Chain A
Amino acid sequence: MVTKRVTLLILAILVIASPFFFPSSFYYRIGSLIFVNGLAVTGLVILIGYAGQISLGHAGFAGIGGYSCALLPAHLGLHPGIAAIVGAILSGAIAWLVGRPILRLKGHYLAIATLGFGILVSMVLANEAWLTKGPDGIEVPDLGLKDVLELVGLDLSNSQFWYWFSGIAFVIGAWVALNLYDSPSGRALRALHGSEIAARTVGIDVARLKLQAFVISAVYASLAGSLLALQNKFITPDVAGFMHSIEWVTMAVLGGAGSVLGAFFGAAILTTLPQVLTVFQEYEQILLGLVMMLCMIFMRDGLLPSVLRLIRGKDK
């Protein structure tokens, strides 16, 4: 296991140093997308990697977070930044309500239930046009922070601003997830992942802890959705779509669902690939499926743990 300090150091260096190698400002955009995806995938690392539970509907929470940034300012006059926080609280509350009944399910049943939840959210967003303006999407107001920075003499381009903003958000998210890993709650989550029955016999309230992991990961997804909406200044129901959920799970599995650093590499690879290999644009979904299958067959622990094991040799 790569330690917390090393992980944070690697991530911070990647965020800070990468721009020196960017050939054009377009790469700031890709970088910020990687961090946004990385944030959501870090949430999934907590749910899938720590707690051993699956969700195929987490994009639903991204939809809630994203649309909060569009709707709350428009209807209630909230600042978009506050709207993102309200959206995260709302996502957490919904995750708590939905999670209570469905987290009793295991394996395939849980996958299907969460899948249903995600589809439900994206359908509501697409169909309730009176509120969400339907499938064509809706505008999101500017966060306004860039202008404030300009006033204090920090003049960033739009893509630069979002690169740094998402980067910082991602590193904070990673820090929290790493804190959780090495804490009583994190140990309890990993314990119930290892053996639910043994976890119960040492006094772990399995239902409660699973729910906590589900709520935390929903908040991560919601904040990722808000970040995406705010930087695009526009959002469509696709953000909550099934493919988006699958993308995130694939990133988590590819990188190694158990590790935050793995989550980052999974997000980085699968965000960059379609951008770099534009030929693959039409085959993106096939690529995702292929990656998922190859991971499951050849490296079930994910890319990072498998590579680390190769480097360190077979002995433990």
Chain B
Amino acid sequence: MTTLLEVSGLGITFGGLKAVQDVGFRVNPGEIVSVIGPNGAGKTTLFNMISGVYKPSTGSVKLDGENVTSMDPYLLARRGLSRTFQNLQIFQTMTVLENAISGFHLQEMGPLLADLFHLPSMKSRAGKAETEARALLERVRLGNAAEKEASSLSYGALKRLEIARALALKPRVLLLDEPAAGCNAVETEEIDHLIAEVAASGVAILLVEHDMKMVMRISNHIVVLDHGEKIAEGRPEEVSRNPKVIEAYLGTEAANA
């Protein structure tokens, strides 16, 4: 199996502070790799580097063999990398449906003139995107909320909407930054199933999550960060037994488990 996402030696410095240093790992198709670590360990920074939001100072990111280091997010999206955000980045004043359709942007975009004059070609593209977006909303149980303004949704629902928007791109690599944060147990379980389902369809998933039960349950592989450095990696049961990890992060919770 070929590696879809390959990160090597990735590091970034913010004004002299080494936020992330020499981090590397691989994600294969259908695999769920989780990045864990205490607050401030550099997980989101790592995500931002992989997804092109930050430009790393060192190292490289390869997508299906192609070097995509520091590439703008919109170009990465065209190459099949999509992500969600820890602090929601929803288009608040748009409807839930429009948010979902925006995930189909690359599919529904055409010539500007077609948009300005509502030519039939635009209508068929937009119509197709809308149909697919509605199906996707059903899948994350937001079908009934389609016409509502996004800002009126609950936090958990917005989390699902963001996942739907990311899935709309039909990504090959999906980066999920704390998808279950702020969700109740039922919602967490739903997201849990959804992630497993997406992975089963062959998508490479990179996950940051604080819910340890969820991480241990669904991850194939875990990368542990502390102070911006990788201190351990391996299968969930290996990582949870690693003394360095227990000391840095898992603490008593894992020791008692």
Contacts and interface: CB of A to CB of B under 8 A. Distances in A.
- Which of A195, A198, A206 has the largest count of B CB atoms less than 10 A from its CB? A198
A42 B50 CA distance: 40
B115 to A, nearest CB: 4
Contacts of A206: 74
Interface in A200-251: 200-206, 212, 216
A185 interface: yes
- Which of A179, A187, A202, A212 has the largest count of B CB atoms less than 10 A from its CB? A202
B183 interface: no
Interface stretch (B76-84, B221-229, B230-238): B76-84
A216 B118 CA distance: 16
B117 A179 contact: yes
A258 B93 CA distance: 10
Nearest to B48: A197
Contacts of B103: 202
A202 B51 contact: no
B105 interface: yes
Contacts of B98: 187, 190
Contacts, number: 107
B90 A194 contact: yes
Interface string B69-105: 0001110111000110100011111100010011101
A202 B117 contact: no
Contacts of A199: 74, 91, 102
Contacts of B122: 183-184
Given A195-B91, A197-B53, A204 B105 contact: yes
B57 to A, nearest CB: 20
A54 to B, nearest CB: 17
Interface residues of A, number: 28
A195 B118 contact: no
B118 A183 contact: yes
Contact of B112 (A198, A200, A212, A258): A212
B108 A204 contact: no
A100 to B, nearest CB: 16
Contact of A185 (B91, B92, B112): B112
B93 A202 contact: no
A187 B118 contact: no
A280 to B, nearest CB: 34
A201 B83 contact: yes
B160 interface: no
A188 B106 CA distance: 10
Given A194-B90, A200-B73, A184 B109 contact: yes
Interface of B: 51-53, 72-74, 76-78, 82-83, 85, 89-94, 98, 101-103, 105-106, 108-110, 112, 114-118, 122, 125-126, 129, 148-149, 152, 165-166, 168-169
22 contacts: A179-B118, A180-B115, A184-B105, A184-B108, A184-B125, A185-B109, A185-B116, A193-B91, A194-B93, A197-B53, A197-B85, A198-B85, A198-B90, A199-B102, A200-B73, A201-B51, A201-B74, A201-B166, A203-B78, A204-B102, A205-B74, A216-B116
Interface of A: 176, 179-180, 183-188, 190-191, 193-195, 197-206, 212, 216, 258, 316
